[in-house]
Structure 1
Amino acid sequence: MAKVSMRMPEDFLLKISKLGDKTDEIIPKVLESGGEVVLEHVKSNLKSSIGKGTKVKSRSTGELVSSLGLSPALLDRNGNHNVKVGFKEPRKDGDSNAKIANILEYGKSNQPAKPFLKPARRTSRKPCIDAMRERFDREVKNI
């Protein structure tokens, strides 16, 4: 039977050993800093796609953009930390923000799609990782 042994880089092991029992304090801060980067990308894409290229004058109230937000970092049942970018519900008119965002993202029979989530996910990946890496390094130095 084959045996494989891998060694972690020394600097990474030093960072991990410094964390100790502070891991539960640092992980939410790191995830939220990355989530804020993604939130800004989604918000700017949403603002640029609402009301553009329509046949009739836009009836946008700005409620969809203002309802966009970031959840706090929480543990799921599998033990993973999650931060979510999403919409607060319900709207003042009783409709669903998620439904309106879905129609905007994917379109419908008489309305072309104006994707804002998928491009934001693609463009914010590297800046998000960089922001989380920078926050992690800052938190480790503070220990």
Structure 2
Amino acid sequence: MAKVSFSMPDDFLRKVSALGEKTDEIIPRVLEAGGEVALEKVHDNLESVIGRDTKSPSRSTGELESALGLSPARMDKNGNFNVKVGFSELRPDGESNAKIANILEYGKHGQPPKPFLKSAKTQARKPGIEAMKEKLDEEIKKI
């Protein structure tokens, strides 16, 4: 029977062990780098659909755009870190920003849908992954 063994370089092993101790510090920064890319895409798409193809002049106040944001990276109950792109709640008129965004995304009776979230998710996937890879490499080099 043939036998093969690999030996990892000592420098690589030191970095991996140091990374193991600092994982909880590094992962949130890496995820937030990817979240920033997604946030930018959502904002650009939202900006492009607001007021577009309306029968009457747009009554947009800019509140929905200003309510868009990125949550800090948090650990969920399963031990996974997450960041979320979304809208802060409640407008001055008492309506929910999430409700307004949902109506804009999926439409309602008499208002056609103007999807901006789904397309942003698709557009941000590869650039977001690349941004996270770059941030991870940057963090590893600091070790």
TM-score of the superposed pair, with normalisation by structure 1: 0.90
Amino acid of the residue matched to residue 110 of structure 1?
A: G
Cα deviation for residue 18 of structure 1 reads 3.6
Q: Deviations over 1:74-133 (max 9, x none)?
A: 000000000000000110111010000000000011000000000000011000000000
C-alpha distance in structure 1 between counterparts of 2:18 and 2:140, whole Å: 7
State which structure, 1 or 2, has the greater radius of gyration over its C-alpha atoms.
2
Q: Secondary structure at 1:52's aligned position in 2? A: coil
* Runs of 4 or more above 4 Å deviation: none
Residue 48 of structure 1 is matched in structure 2 by: 48
Partner residue, 2:27: 27
Distance 2:61 2:48 in 1: 14
- Aligned partners of 1:63, 1:28: CA distance in 2, in Å? 28
Alignment deviations for residues 38-94 of structure 1 (CA, whole Å, 9 cap, x no partner): 000000000000000000000000000000000000000000000000000110111
**Post-superposition shift, 1:33?**
0.5
What is the DSSP-based 3-state SS (H/G/I as helix, E as strand, rest coil) of the residue aligned with 1:139?
Answer: helix
Equivalent residue, structure 1, for 2:127: 127
Equivalent in the alignment of 2:105: 105
User: For residue 93 of structure 1, what is the amino acid of its counterpart?
Assistant: D
Q: Which is further off, 15-24 or 80-89?
A: 15-24
Determine helix, strand or coil for the equivalent of 1:125.
Answer: helix
Which one-letter code corresponds to 2:97 in the other structure?
A: N
- Residue 67 of structure 1 corresponds to 67
One-letter identity of the residue aligned with 1:121: K
Quick one: which amino acid aligns to residue 32 of structure 1? E
Alpha-carbon RMSD across the aligned residues, in angstroms, is 1.7
The answer to whether the aligner puts 1:81 opposite 2:81 as a matched pair is: yes
Distance, in Å, in 2 between the alignment partners of 1:41 and 1:24 is: 27
Give % identity.
66
* Distance in structure 1 (CA, Å) of the matches to 2:20 and 2:109: 55
Amino acid aligned to 2:73: A
TM-score (norm 2): 0.90
Inter-partner Cα distance in structure 1 for 2:52 and 2:72: 32
Q: C-alpha displacement at 1:16, in angstroms? A: 3.0
